[in-house]
Amino acid sequence: MKISIFGTGYVGLVTGACFANLGHEVVCYDIDKQKIKELQEGHVPFFEPDLEKMVKDSLKSGRISFIDDCSAGVGKADVIFIAVGTPSKKNGEVDLSYVENAASNIGRNLKKYALVVNKSTVPVGTAQLVKNIIKNYYKGEFDVASNPEFLREGDALLDFMKPERIVIGTETTKAEKMLRGLYSSFDCPLVSVKIETAEIIKYASNAYLATKISFINEIANICEKVGADVEDVSYAMGLDSRIGNKFLKAGIGYGGSCFPKDVRGLKNIALKNDYEFHLLKSVIKVNHRQKMFVIEKARKLIGKLEGKKICIWGLAFKPNTDDFRESLAIDIIKFLQKEGVIVNAYDPITDYEKIRKTASFGKEVKFFDDPCKALKGCDGLIVVTEWDEFRKIDLRKMKELLRKPNVIDGRNIYNPEMMAKFGFNYMSVGR
């Protein structure tokens, strides 16, 4: 099939590269001309394991191309995916301006029938919005559909190629047939539903996972009060197949480009439809409180924070990605700076220039290219992201480098007994 993709970010580029790899002819368009230039040269402007190789192979075979003028991509396409960002507005509503812009450009350039598919996470009713925008410009036949994406950054290629389910929302037999055909080689359940149902499935899935995280974090907080160990609690809970062990790991909360915005998004979709989603309000509150506990723990271990130097390990919102959108590290650094803390930071792959430019930290953060160098002379360490590299660190060396052996382990990656043996003042979550 001839496929066109609007937006070549984490979702759009993975979608494009994977479909090209499966033998389709893919044209990727993005409004970011610099991104397109880099992609034309085979360079992926963000970190995703194995993606660059796949893009380079597809460029070589001629099955993928990158353009900064969308007219060339729309005219010939059988299927057009919209994979642009859908960030939160300040009031928590979903900002659909990028989707609207993509829809206008599609409408302006359509020349024959095409199926326009929302892959972005969008509120119920967005497919109809896209349809109406396109109709303003194009009077011929076309269809709209919803095909939400469930890939996880860091495992995106595997998730795309071997998904646990594919969800398609369509309103015509032709559109359903096309999407079934496109995914015919995928070995997983294909859930074909009404467009509105498909649109809400993605929000419901992310909001549920965030709820699970906030739930286990509340259990962790109780464990700390009663002297129980949340790691054992979640292990035992997870053995129950009705509960399952995924997303049941206590920590300092969820962050990232999807969970926070999608939980807010669903809460607002409910509100707009005169329904107050009490549970999600609590999920958001719990998540906020959880990251504030880190500051409380720092005070408990280090004492007065003003003038102290603290090292942060991990800036990406999770391991195996360089994505720091809504990363907890950013908020924690800002809270610490407000308290007068000097912050050293280390992350294995985050682009320090980019985070410096976009995070608007109150004061200078000193970034390091080595986790041990970042520790030197600090009054404490906070582990924010559970990179494997931090698990393998030499604890003796860690203790020597810190000015004071205070460690707040936000992801429970160290063994409390071992930390005590090495002489650390150690606090983790729920243990």
Interaction site with ligand NAD (CB under 6 A): 6-12, 29-32, 35, 83-86, 98, 101-102, 120-121, 149, 151, 153, 257-258
Nearer to ligand NAD, 149 or 347 (CB): 149
Nearest distance in Å: CB 161, ligand NAD: 15
Query: Coil, strand, or helix at residue 57?
Result: helix
Count the alpha carbons within 13 Å of 260 in the hemisphere toward its beta carbon: 20
| Residue 27 Cβ vs ligand NAD, minimum distance, rounded to whole Å | 12
Q: Select 16 or 430, whichever has its Cβ closest to ligand NAD.
A: 16
314: left (phi over 0), alpha (psi -120 to 50) or beta: left
Residue number, 257 or 337, with CB nearest to ligand NAD: 257
Smallest distance, ligand NAD to C-beta of residue 35, A: 6
Measured from the CB atom, the residue of 257 and 385 that comes closer to ligand NAD is 257
How far, CA to CA in Å, does 322 sit from each of 81, 167, 208, 243, 318?
A: 24, 27, 24, 30, 8
The minimum distance between CB 1 and ligand NAD, in angstroms, equals 20
Q: For residues 85 and 380, which CB has a smaller minimum distance to ligand NAD in the complex?
A: 85
Contacts of 162 (CB under 8 A, 6+ apart): 187, 188
- What are the CA-CA distances from residue 55 to residues 8, 162, 281, 285, 298 (Å)? 12, 18, 41, 40, 44
From the list 417, 373, 108, the residue with the least C-alpha distance to 381 is 373
The minimum distance between CB 175 and ligand NAD, in angstroms, equals 20
User: CA-to-CA distance for 309 and 82, rounded, in angstroms?
Assistant: 45
Nearer to ligand NAD, 126 or 290 (CB): 126
Nearer to ligand NAD, 81 or 346 (CB): 81
Cβ neighbour number for residue 23 with a 10 Å cutoff: 10
Q: Select which of 258, 311, 372, 378 is catalytic.
A: 258
Q: How far is the CB of 311 from ligand NAD (least distance, A)?
A: 28
Q: Which of 415, 366, 377, 374 lies closest to 395 in space, CA to CA?
A: 415
Shortest-Cβ-distance residue relative to ligand NAD: 9
Q: How far is the CB of 384 from ligand NAD (least distance, A)?
A: 19
The C-alpha atoms of residue 220 and residue 218 are separated, in whole angstroms, by 5
DSSP assignment string, 78-116: SEEEE----PBPTTS-B--HHHHHHHHHHHHH--S--EE
Q: Is 376 exposed, middle or buried (0-12, 13-18, 19+ CB in 10 A)?
A: middle
Give yes or no: 378 in active site. no
Residues with a catalytic annotation lie at 258
